[in-house]
Amino acid sequence: MKRILVAGGAGFLGSHLCERLLQEGHFVLCVDNLYTGSKDNIQHLIPNPNFEFLRHDICFPLHVEVDEIYNLACPASPIHYQSDPIQTLKTSVLGAMNLLGLAKRLKCKIFQASTSEVYGDPHVHPQQEGYWGNVNPIGIRSCYDEGKRCAETLFFDYHRVHQVPIRVGRIFNTYGPRMHPKDGRVVSNFIMQALNNQPLTIYGKGTQTRSFCYVDDLIEVIFRLMNSEITGPINIGNPTEFLVLDLAKEVIRQTNSKSPIIFVPLPSDDPRQRRPDISKAKQFLSWEPKVALKEGLAATIEYFSSLV
């Protein structure tokens, strides 16, 4: 049994990761300041004697004894990370420094949940790990994009200078149960609008593409990466590409909604294409996604229906 710290453990991805680690027989210390996370996501885990919740902001040092650290702490949706951009940047940078300092002291492995946003609005498609990206450093999304890029820099500097064993995964669009219903991301937006028979809002013409990975697939590859000898960065996501317009039509079909589709102007710095090259994940982790979009959407719609 390992004692494992999951920062951001009450969030969408974090709660699923806590669940998986408990299933593997480990003790889990879930740390979250509940800015975007929720106790509802971990309520079913609290009775487990191997689970502990600690409300804490990783912008401040954390003094605990653990064997491994997963850093998933940071608002990930534009609505949430843009509502307090300075705090978002602090969480990415100061949070990384504090957890890396802890990993250095404890001589333990640490995973960084990086993001496809480090590629910005890419000029290379699909995106490979060697691509340095096309990121606006002063735009409304920069607090998140540049925060995550700086966090990667810190991770690799701690690895080179202090020999901290790091694992860095660049997470692409992920969806599934326990997504925040008002996070402003395309899957949750479309499902909530469809369930309420409201117009589905498409930004631009809907010709921009996204690649959607179901949460169970993503947790599996995070687990494999942490337990491998691969430092990263490594792309983790689903390489199957969908038009946003096609996603809207599929959500309407599965929900039997009467919602119309409306088109509004594209937000600033919104990427036109987003698709991971997962060759490294296939080669080094023997992983590729298994859950098809239709199947994953059905489970996600069932979850949101219970909220509505």
Number of Cβ atoms within 10 Å of the Cβ of 199:
14
Q: How far apart are CA 123 and CA 272, in angstroms?
A: 10
Number of Cβ atoms within 10 Å of the Cβ of 101:
15
Q: How far apart are CA 137 and CA 107, in angstroms?
A: 33
List CB contacts of 139: < 8 A, sequence separation 6 or more. Answer: 268, 269
Q: How far apart are CA 11 and CA 38, in angstroms?
A: 6
Question: Using an 8 Å Cβ cutoff, are 180 and 12 in contact?
Answer: yes
DSSP code string of 122-173:
-SSSSBPTT---B--TTSTTHHHHHHHHHHHHHHHHHHHHH---EEEEEE--
Q: How far apart are CA 165 and CA 162, in angstroms?
A: 9
Q: How far apart are CA 72 and CA 283, in angstroms?
A: 25
Instruction: Just list the catalytic residues.
Output: 144
Enumerate the β-bridge partners of residue 267: none
Q: How far apart are CA 216 and CA 236, in angstroms?
A: 12
